[in-house]
Chain A
Amino acid sequence: MNNTQIVDESPVTLFGPIAIPGKQEPVSKTAQTCTDPEVLREKPVLEIEHFDLWYGTTQALFDVTMPIPSGKVTALIGPSGCGKSTLIRSVNRLNDLIDGVRYAGDMRLNGDTIYSPRVDVIELRKRMGMVFQKSNPFPMSIYENVIYSLRIDGENRKNVLDETVERCLKSAALWDEAKDRLDESALELSGGQQQRLCIARAIAADPEVLLMDEPCSALDPIATAKVEELIFSLRGEYTVLIVTHNMQQAARVSDFTAFMYLGRLLEYGPTKTLFVNPSLKQTEDYMTGRFG
C-alpha cells in the first residue's frame, strides 16, 4: 500500500527538473512492464520474483522481478548505492550473514525455491559461484584455492582434483601463468591474477549460475580485458550475472542488461536495445553519464 504510493511519487521527488512526463509512466509497478519481451522468451535459470529487502528499517530492494536467462550473460548496471550488490548477494543468500536483514518475495534456481526456511542454504550455495569486487583468495596454495569447494565436499581423489585445477585455471586464463607454481601461496599472485583465481574457484564446482560483483573494478586494463574475454567465453556454458559500473564493459560482454535505480529494477532488456534505444529517460541519462 505504502509501497505503491512511494513508487508513484518517486520520479517527481527525484527528477523534478529533469522529469519528462511522456516517457515516464511505465516505471516498474510490475516486472512485466519493465522487462523486454525478448528476455521473457529465454529459458530462465534463475527467477527473482517480487523481491524486497530491508537492512533493519531501511528498504534496499523494492519489488524486483527479474528472470535470468540460461546460458547468457546478464549485466546489472545502475548508480552507486542502488542495490546491485544487495540483489546479487541475495541470490546466494549471503545477506543472511548480516544482522537485521529481512526480505519478502522469492527467488527460484532452476525451479527450486531459494527463500524458504526449509532450504539448505549450504547446498544452495554449492550450486552457485560468486566472484567479489575485491579479490579474496584464501590463505592457502593456488591449487587448494581452486579446489576449495571440492575439498569441503570431501573430494580427495587426486586425479579429479588435478583435472579440476587444470580445467578451471585454463577457463580462467591463468593456467599458463600459474601451472608451475600451483603450490605457492595464492596471496603472492598479482591483483589481477588473484581475481582470475577467484573466478577459477567460482567455476570449479560447475555452478548453475555465476554471480560476479564488479569483478574488474580493481584491475588494470589488460587484466580487465582478460577477465572480459573470459566472461565472454563462458557464455553458453555458464549463466553469468555480472554487476558492473563500466558501460562499455556491459556492452561488450553481456547479452542482456538490467538497469537498477534506488532499489528498483527500472529497465531490463537485450543489451543492444537498452544501449541504443533505452525506453526510459533515467536509463539514458545514466548511460550517457549525466548522473550517477
Chain B
Amino acid sequence: MSVETGFLFSGPRVEMPPSEILPVADASAVRNSRKRKGPRSTQLAARGEPYVWLMGSGLAIATLMILGLLFLVFYNGISTFWPKRIVEFTLIDGAKILGEVIRSERYQVSPSELAGMSAESRIRITASGGWSRRYLVRTGNYDLYGDDFKWVVESQIAGRALPLNVWLIERMEWGRAVGRLQKLTRDNIPLTRNSDEFYRIFSEVHGVAIDSKKKIARLQDKIGALNYALENSRLAVRKASLKYGDESTQHKAVAEAAAREESRLTKDFERLQAEIASIRSEDGRFRAYVFDAAGTLIPERPSSPVTPMLVSQIVRAYPANTLTLLKRIQVYLSRWVEFLTTEPREANTEGGVLPAIFGTFMMTLIMSLVVAPFGIIAALYLREYARQGTLVSAVRIAVNNLAGVPSIVFGVFGLGFFCYVIGGRLDMLFFPEKLPAPTFGTGGILWASLTLALLTVPVVIVATEEALAAVPRSMREGSYACGASKWQTIWRIVLPRATPGIMTGIILAMARGAGEVAPLMLTGVVKLAPELPFDSHFPFFHLNRSFMHLGFHIFDVGFQSRNSEAGKPMVFTTTLLLIALVALLNIVAIRLRSRLIKRFKVAHF
C-alpha cells in the first residue's frame, strides 16, 4: 500500500516540476501590478515601513529606559565622593548652619508656615503661587544634633557664605563632623597658631596616627590568630572527651597539652594587649579642637562634651573651601580607594564594601562552578540520551517553569534543605565537638551559592539544549562514520562546538545570580561579616561562613540603617559597583566566548 503511494508521489515530480510553473506565475503577477499602479506607487505597508517604525520605537523606548536607569545610577554613584564646598547659612533668627548642600527643591508652603513668616517673604511666596525653595544640607555632627541633615527654607535665609577655615572631618565613629578647626595640640600644647599651616601640620600628625592605626590592626590580627589557636586547642579537648571519654588517658594528655598551650597563648595575648595600649596612649596625646557653626566643641565622645576629638579618630579631613582642584581630586580618589578596599563602618553607611565585593564575587563564582556542570549534564541527557517523548517534554516544561518560581521560594528551600538537612548532617558527622554551635548547619556562602545555582540552572539547561540542537547533524554523522562512540562524539565534537552557546547560558545565569538578593537573605547573607570567607587558616576557604553581598548591602544601607538619607549616596555607589562587577564578570565570559566562536567560525561556505 505504502509503496504504491510512494510511486504516485514521485510520478508527478518527474512529469511536471513545480519549479517551472511558479516563476512564470510570479513574473506575470509583478507585471500586472506594475501596470495597475504605475512605477512608484507601492503601498507603504507593502514595503514594511510602518513596522520598521513600530519596532524601532519599541527598541528606542526600551533602550531609553535602560539608559536612563544606568545614567541615574552612574551619575549619582560617580558624584557621591566628590568633596563639595561647605556653605554657611545665616538664618533670619541668627542661627548658623554649616554643611554641604546635597540638593534643592521647590515645595508648596503650608498655610501655617506661611503665617509665621515675615510680611515681605509672605508676599513673595504668595506671588509665586505658594511655592518656595528649600535646601537639604548635610550638616554632619550627628553626635551633637542627632541628625545628619537639615532642611533650610529659602525664606529663612538671611545670608550665605563660604568660610575659609571650615573643615570636613570623617571620623571612625559618629559619621562626619563639620566645623572650624581652631587648633591642633600635643599634650595640650598647640602645635601651630597660624591657620595657614593647619593643612601641613595636620597632614603630618594624621600620617603618624594612620601609621599607628596600621600597627594596631596588625597586632589585632595577631590576637585573632591567638584566639583561633586557643579555640582550636579547646575544641581538641572536647573532641578527645567525646571520643575517648572524660576519664581516659588520651583525654588527660590532650587537656594537659591544651592547658600548657593556653598559658603560653595568654602570655602572648597580654604582651600584645600591652603593646596596643601603649600605642593608643601615644595617640591620645594628639587632639584637634573643632567647633561647629554655633561654636560648640565637637567632642571625642558625646558623654564628655569638653574633651576635644582625637586625631587618631579621624579617617580623613580637609578644609572644604580652600582645597585646590588637585587636592579635591586626591580626596575623591582616596574615598574611592577606601570604598573599594576597606570594611564598612557605622552600620555600613561609611567605610568600604570590600567584604561585600568579595562575597558577591565568590558567591557568583561558586554558583557558576556548580551550575555549569549540572546544567550541561542535564541538558545533555535531555537532548542527546533521553528518548524524545511526552516525559521529556514534561520535564522540559517543568524546567522552564522553574525559572518562574519566586526566588524567595528557592531561599526557603535552600534554608530548609541545604542548611538544616544537609548542613545539620555534616555537622553531626564532622564537627560534633562544636555543637550545639552550628558549622555548616546554618546559612553560609556554600549554601547560598547552591541555592542560586538551583535558581539559575534552568537558564543554563535551556541555553545548552539550544546550543546542542544547533550542532549540525553532518558533524555528528561524520564523527560516527569515523567509528566514534556516542560519548566520544559528544565529548570531542558536540560539546566543543556547542561551547559558545553554553557560555551564553552561563553568562545569563551569572548575571541573574549576581543580582539576586531575596534567597540569600535566608541562606547566608548578613549585614556585617568582617571575616572574609577565606583567610590564612587551614583550609583557607571557609565555605560555611556567612558573607556580605552587594545586593543585600544596597537594601540594608538604603532601607535598614539608622538614617537612610546618609546611606543614600552609598546606595548609588554600591549599585554602580554591583553593576560594574556583573558587567566585568560578563565581559570576561563574553571575551572567552568570542574567542571560542572565532575558533568555530566557518570562513568559507
Contacts and interface: CB of A to CB of B under 8 A. Distances in A.
B577 to A, nearest CB: 38
Given A136-B475, A187-B603, A189-B603, A291 B14 contact: yes
Contacts of B474: 132, 134, 136
A263 to B, nearest CB: 8
B3 interface: yes
B485 A14 contact: no
Interface in A187-245: 187-191, 194, 198, 201-202, 205, 211
A94 interface: yes
Given A6-B3, A97-B477, A136-B474, A187 B483 contact: no
B10 A125 contact: no
A10 B4 CA distance: 9
A255 B603 CA distance: 36
B605 interface: yes
Interface string B365-407: 0000000000000000000000000000000000000000000
Given A130-B481, A139-B497, A187 B475 contact: no
Interface residues of A, number: 48
A198 B13 CA distance: 33
A256 interface: no
B493 interface: yes
A276 interface: no
Interface string A249-292: 00000000000001000000000000000000000000000011
Interface in B447-487: 472, 474-485
Contacts of B481: 92, 94, 125, 128-130, 132, 202, 211
Interface in A45-83: 57-59, 79, 81
B77 to A, nearest CB: 42
A90 interface: no
Given A187-B601, A201-B482, A136 B472 contact: yes
Interface string A103-140: 00000000000000000001111111110101010111
A138 B474 CA distance: 10
Contacts of A262: 6-7, 10
A127 B600 CA distance: 29
Contacts of B14: 79, 291-292
A122 B488 CA distance: 11
Interface in B483-509: 483-485, 488, 492-493, 496-497
A171 interface: no
Contacts of B603: 187-190
A189 B479 CA distance: 19
A248 interface: no
Contacts of A194: 604
B2 interface: yes
Contacts of A129: 481-482
B7 A122 contact: no
B21 interface: no
A205 B13 CA distance: 41
Contact of A58 (B6, B485, B599): B6
Nearest to A99: B388
8 contacts: A57-B2, A59-B6, A136-B474, A138-B492, A187-B600, A189-B603, A191-B605, A205-B482
Given A185-B599, A198-B478, 17 more contacts: A13-B11, A94-B480, A97-B480, A125-B481, A132-B474, A136-B472, A136-B475, A138-B493, A139-B475, A140-B496, A149-B484, A151-B492, A152-B482, A152-B488, A187-B603, A189-B604, A201-B482
